[in-house]
Amino acid sequence: MADYDVVIVGGGPGGYVAAIRASQLGFKTAVIEKEQMGGICLNWGCIPTKALLRTSEIHHLLHSLGSYGFKAENISFDFKKVIERSRSVASQLATGVRHLMKKNKVTILEGNAQIKGRQGTEIELIVDGKTTLKAPHVILATGARARQLPGLESDGKLIWTYREAMVPEKMPNSLLVIGSGAIGIEFASFYRLMGADVTVVEVLDRILPVEDKEISTAARKSFEKQGIKIHTGAVVKSLKKNKDSVVATFESGGKSQEITVDRVISAVGIVGNTENLGLEKTKVKVEKGHIVTDEWCATAEPGIYAIGDVAAGPWLAHKASHEGVLCVEKIKGLKTAHPMKKENIPGCTYSYPQIASVGLTEDAAKALRGDIKVGRFPYMANGKAIAMGEPEGLVKTIFDGKTGELLGAHMIGAEVTELIQGFCLAKTLEATEQEIIQTIFPHPTLSEMMHESVLDAFGQVIHF
């Protein structure tokens, strides 16, 4: 029996960050991980997909060399090496996480953890049925897995989840992507830029449905210009598997359509990993596949917390990491600890073009505040964007018409996933348009569009 102050189940971006912060605060800390440190994000999500997407951007640029004054012939790629580079990047960072655990004196236990019961204020866990440990505080950070649709389940060969889509044995010539959230769109973008014939089917009336409608519309226009076929308000009815292809039948606009593709990617959401944790022995509640928590990540069972994808959305790595820190700081009793404001969590889609946002959409802001001011600034009017050869995009900002509070920011175009942090900081500081307008932005940069968008919302735009 080993005693700890804090035990964390899961070593993903929520779990390992919580462990580091717990150690910094003086807690004797252990992390239990059944697979690889870094979790899905580092090994099978955020990081390796970005490596793939970077490769596809380079492939796109190589075929656009003429516009920059270059000339190249017989451009080709080794798909096996493309995949190997992605896996190498993930492996390097996973090793780095293990180093961070050692540096911060966090114990790593490998295996499956299960809550065995409790002894007074302490919770007892068992790892792989043999190693027992207890702690007054247990943080569940077990993540999530791909949701499977009845009758359309993945088989790992012809019908893929994100895992198989990252390590294919060969480059497919054609692909159907079911679902147009960030995961689906990123894979659609990668495979299209690498040369595949890509079709996207979305059950809702537009792609990227959590984004601002104007940005969603602009994204669809851009993707269709690149050759991606998009069907919204459509439902996949069946997938018939042949030896090396799939015949997909879907309904759109009351009409049934059939296409044959090499592979199918199912990207229709996630389900929290709540099974086999021993939760039935506790008061922990699970609703719609995710653990219910309060604003401090605490469950209904004293001493048990849940963070990241196993808990409520948005299901983003940076949200999980932030939850890990605030949860541990609350356990410590720090006066600086405060609940997360979900409206300040940015969302990013690393497609081509990129999409990024924070806060309320225009429709949500109108419904909530009524009187709003909206500013826009196009990439085509920005010197740096034109110099980069990236004139396609838009920066949009939304303010409270009475107070000037920044309510939301929505962007599409080159490097917006980096730019969005400026608006995140503004929201955290509760900035109004005056603070942003009075901020000096460097020239020439893409960030100037952020300034101009704010100026536009208040009738002061300069360069458009």
Count of the separate structural domains present in the chain:
3
Axis-axis angle for helices 15-24, 317-332 (nearest 10): 30
Predicted pLDDT of residue 253: 85
Average pLDDT, the chain: 96
399 shares its domain with 312: no
Q: Phi first, then psi: what are they for 165, rounded to 5°?
A: -65, -20
Q: Is residue 462 part of a domain?
A: no
42 shares its domain with 139: yes
Question: What secondary structure letter does DSSP report for 122?
Answer: E
Q: What is the mean pLDDT of residues 338-346?
A: 95
Residue 53 C-beta-side C-alpha neighbours within 13 Å: 21
73 shares its domain with 195: no
Q: What is the CATH number of the domain that holds 403?
A: 3.30.390.30
Which tokens belong to 106? 């966090």
Q: Is residue 415 part of a domain?
A: yes
- The domain boundary residue, chosen from 226, 244, 268: 268
Q: Which residues constitute the domain of residue 244?
A: 159-268
Which tokens belong to 259? 């296409």
Q: What is the mean pLDDT of residues 363-376?
A: 97
The CA-based angle 384-389-390, given to 5 degrees, is 75
Asked if residue 178 has pLDDT above 70, the reply is yes
Instruction: Give the residue among 379, 404, 388 at the shortest CA–CA distance from 464.
Output: 379
Predicted pLDDT of residue 155: 95
Q: Is residue 151 part of a domain?
A: no
Q: Phi first, then psi: what are they for 306, rounded to 5°?
A: -140, 135
Asked if residue 433 has pLDDT above 80, the reply is yes
Preceding peptide of 136 cis, ω within 30°: no
Q: What is the mean pLDDT of residues 354-375?
A: 97
Q: Which residue has the tokens 């920059």?
A: 68
246 and 265 Cβ atoms separated by less than 8 Å: no
Can you say how many angstroms the Cα of residue 112 is from the centroid of all Cα atoms in its chain? 25
Beta bridge partners of 29: 6
240 shares its domain with 120: no
Q: What is the mean pLDDT of residues 270-297?
A: 96
Q: Is residue 153 part of a domain?
A: no
295 shares its domain with 335: yes
How many whole angstroms separate alpha carbon 122 and alpha carbon 462? 62
28 shares its domain with 130: yes
Asked if residue 307 has pLDDT above 90, the reply is yes
Q: Phi first, then psi: what are they for 144, rounded to 5°?
A: -150, 170
Please state whether the predicted TM-score (pTM) of the whole model is above 0.85.
yes
- The domain boundary residue, chosen from 222, 251, 268: 268
13 shares its domain with 141: yes
Q: Is residue 256 part of a domain?
A: yes
Asked if residue 254 has pLDDT above 90, the reply is no
User: Which value, to the nearest 10 degrees, does the dihedral of the CA atoms of residues 307, 351, 346, 37 take?
Assistant: 30
109 shares its domain with 24: yes
16 shares its domain with 88: yes
Q: What is the mean pLDDT of residues 283-310?
A: 97
State the DSSP string of 3-57.
Answer: E-SEEEE--STTHHHHHHHHHHTT--EEEEESS-TTHHHHHHSHHHHHHHHHHHH
Q: What is the CATH number of the domain that holds 98?
A: 3.50.50.60
Asked if residue 123 has pLDDT above 90, the reply is yes
Q: What is the mean pLDDT of residues 347-368?
A: 98
For 20, residues 6+ apart whose C-beta sits below 8 A from its C-beta are: 100, 101, 104, 106
% of the chain at pLDDT higher than 90: 95
Predicted pLDDT of residue 262: 98
Instruction: Give the residue among 280, 273, 337, 276 at the shortest CA–CA distance from 307.
Output: 273
Predicted pLDDT of residue 364: 97
Catalytic positions: 443
Q: What is the mean pLDDT of residues 109-138?
A: 94
17 shares its domain with 107: yes
Q: What is the mean pLDDT of residues 55-63?
A: 96
Q: Is residue 464 part of a domain?
A: no
- The domain boundary residue, chosen from 319, 342, 365: 342
346 and 421 Cβ atoms separated by less than 8 Å: yes
How many whole angstroms separate alpha carbon 83 and alpha carbon 62? 19
427 and 346 Cβ atoms separated by less than 8 Å: no
186 shares its domain with 240: yes
pLDDT in tens, 376-422: 999 999 999 999 999 999 999 999 999 999 999 999 999 999 999 99
Q: Is residue 11 part of a domain?
A: yes
Which tokens belong to 382? 């920005």
Distances in whole angstroms, Cα of residue 322 to Cα of each of 101, 235, 283, 344: 18, 36, 25, 12
Kindly give the residue spans of alpha helices, DSSP state H, lying in 397-447. Answer: 416-428, 433-437
% of the chain at pLDDT higher than 70: 100
Predicted pLDDT of residue 320: 97
Q: What is the mean pLDDT of residues 223-247?
A: 97
Q: Is residue 347 part of a domain?
A: no
Asked if residue 111 has pLDDT above 70, the reply is yes
Q: Phi first, then psi: what are they for 266, rounded to 5°?
A: -95, 115
Which pLDDT band holds residue 1 (cuts at 50, 70, 90)? low
Predicted pLDDT of residue 2: 76
120 shares its domain with 247: no
Predicted pLDDT of residue 442: 98
State the DSSP string of 328-359.
Answer: HHHHHT-TT-----GGG--EEE-SSSEEEEEE
